[in-house]
Amino acid sequence: MCSIFIKALNLSINASWLILAVIVARLLLKKAPRWISCLLWGMVALRLICPVSIESVLSLLPSAEVVPGNIQMVERPYIDSGISIIDNNVNPGLGEALKPGIEDSMNPMQGIVAAGMMWIVGIAIMLVYALVSFLILKKRVRASVSAGEGIYECDEVESPFILGILKPIIYVPSGLDEKILDMVLAHEYAHLKRHDHWWKPFGYALLSVYWFNPVCWIAYILLCRDIEAACDERVIRDQTKEYAADYSQALLSMSVRKRFIAACPIAFGETGVKSRIKGVLNYRKPAFWVVIAAFIICVAVAIFFMTNPKDDHPNVSISSTLNEETRIKYQNEIRLNEIICDYAPDVIDFTSANISIQDGLVNCVNVVIFCNDKEKASEVQNGIADAVSDYLGIDTKSVFMAFVDHEGNPYLYYGASLEARDIYEETSHIYSLPDDSYEAPDNVVTESMDYLPTEKIIIDD
């Protein structure tokens, strides 16, 4: 889950640059058709859902991966924003604060696990809010009556809207003037032709995933406004000025107080009514050159902000990451050996821990404990498992221990006994490496490596 959260965080940061570019582009496209702005928001959606991106020397993104995917494994955590002034001010403090230390009883980077859990909870809250809003609205329109195919009138409705994704239904207030009703229906039919009853919920779903990014909230609000403005333009583009004036009056009469961000419905008079009225009254058909210029801007935005910057050192990161992960793995194993020995110094003679890592996260830990007091070993095994699990932030079910006597013979297993025994037998070579075969990875701190045996230990009484 942590790796997914880090990936989502990086996608969100990269998309933020694109969103800011789209906001600037919208200002340049005031005379262009509004559907082009919707096209730009489609690019943002693609950026948010696509885990990979094309590399380009033309990319204006300062960094493709601000938060390293292996940040939990590096000795000194850091960010790579691509902006020197930010990195130089943030990284020294960040690396020092989150660096796993010998004196730590828990890896500081376990905070990412908590952040990932908060992210999931936030998604759940957003989706529950949308579901509850939908159910409340469905309850309000239960007493509606049919006014035509796919059209219902309801006394509880203040402003017309479309409800439903697969089978959308248009709901309108009861007793609408026929002229206003025709304009309202023209607007709602424009929504249906553009499939906005799909795109708005899809936009909300993306907002639910990236709820932690305030720039994404701004993007969703502007998307809703552009969707409505695009439909307004579609309705009035072939009409007279008198019709546009009447349409503006209909917008004003149907306007309602704006609610909190919503996934549904698509309401006629709820989003940006003031700016929509102004846009309708000032609407002019865009010149051909304006449309061409708008397309050029869209292509430029895509090239500059939908691509990632090229990696100047593609081969260096792989090897350095492996060395860093290996170094931290051994440092944590050293710390685990110290924790276990300190837990029962009068009982435990020697320990050797081996951490198993999968997808950048601790999967399980195997520990061999040399202890000749079999009775005491049985008493301390649960406490040792708790201490190990607390430090690594894993469940005790992922802790496997084999207690051995001074001659190296196992007599007690912790962790589904049979499974722990099998693990010990399959990995026994880890604890009996010849002196001349072991080479510490680059930059590994070896001063405390005496905890890791290089040959099978036999302790004489």
- The residues spanned by each domain of the chain are 2-72+107-308, 316-451
Q: Is the dihedral of CA 43, 47, 52, 55 positive or negative?
A: positive
Predicted local distance difference test score (pLDDT) of residue 80 = 85
- Greatest pairwise CA separation for the chain in angstroms: 105
Which two tokens mark 195?
Answer: 């499939």
The CA-based angle 21-27-31, given to 5 degrees, is 130
81-98, pLDDT tens digit by residue? 888 888 878 877 776 666
Which two tokens mark 437?
Answer: 């075969």
Give CA separation, 325 vs 42, 170, 205, 315, 449, in Å: 38, 57, 35, 16, 17
Nearest Cα residue to 283 out of 251, 313, 261: 251
Nearest Cα residue to 424 out of 442, 437, 441, 411: 411
**56 exposure class (CB count in 10 Å sphere: 0-12, 13-18, 19+):** middle
Site of tokens 């309708």: 280
Contacts of 311 (CB under 8 A, 6+ apart): 55, 64, 317
- Sites in the chain below the pLDDT cut of 70: 1, 70, 72-76, 95-111, 256-271, 311-328, 358-360, 416-461
Predicted local distance difference test score (pLDDT) of residue 313 = 45
Q: Give me the helix-helix angle, 214-236 and 273-281, nearest 10°.
A: 40
Measured distance CA(194)–CA(169) in Å, rounded? 15
Q: Is the dihedral of CA 92, 109, 13, 130 positive or negative?
A: negative
pTM for this predicted structure? 0.67
**Within 10 Å of residue 172's Cβ, how many Cβ atoms?**
24
Give percent above pLDDT 90 in the chain.
34
Measured distance CA(170)–CA(163) in Å, rounded? 7
Nearest Cα residue to 428 out of 371, 356, 337, 354: 354
Site of tokens 């194993």: 333
What is the topology classification, in CATH, of domain 316-451?
A: GMP Synthetase; Chain A, domain 3 (3.30.300)
Predicted local distance difference test score (pLDDT) of residue 291 = 93
Measured distance CA(335)–CA(388) in Å, rounded? 10
